Amino acid sequence: MKNKIALIGIGNVGIAILYNLFLTESNLDIILIDHHKNNLIGNIIDLSHTVNTKNNIVSMGDYKKIDDVDVLIISAGIKNDVNRNLFLQKSYLMIKELMDNVLKTKFHGSIIVVSNPNDVLTTYVAKRYQKEKVIGTGTLLDSNRLKCTLQQKFNLKDTSSIKANVIGEHGLSQVILWYKIKINGQKISDILTKNEKKEIEDEVATIAHKIVSLKGYTNFGIASCVNLIINLLLKNQKIAIPISSYDDKTQVAYSYLSKIKDGKVIRNKVSRIDYNLVLSSIKKIENEYRIFENSIVVGIDLDDTITDMKKLMQDEALKFDKSINGKGIIDNTKYLVGEQYAWNEEEKDRFFKEYRVHAIENAKVREDVNQVLKKMLKLGYKIIIITARSSKYYENPYEYTKNWLNKHKIPYTKLIVNATSKKDVCKKENVSIFLDDMPNNCLEVSKLDNVKVYIMDNGNNLCEQKEIKRVKNFEEFYREVV
Give catalytic residues, as residue numbers: 170
Determine how β-strand 166-167 pairs with β-strand 175-176.
antiparallel
Contact, 225 vs 106, CB < 8 A?
no
Task: With CA atoms as reference, report the closest residue to 168 among 271, 283, 254.
Answer: 254
For 75, left (φ over 0), alpha (ψ -120 to 50), or beta? Answer: alpha
- Which DSSP symbol is given to 133? G
Q: Are strands 57-60 and 175-176 parallel, antiparallel or unpaired?
A: unpaired
For the chain, first and last CA: distance in Å? 42
- The rounded distance, in Å, linking the Cα atoms of 376 and 220 is 34
Dihedral pair phi/psi, residue 22, rounded to 5°: -60, -35
Evaluate whether 326 touches 409 at the Cβ level (below 8 Å).
no
C-alpha 386/C-alpha 266 separation (Å) is 50
Peptide bond into 117 cis (omega under 30): yes
- Burial of residue 230 (number of CB atoms within 10 Å: 0-12, 13-18, 19+): buried
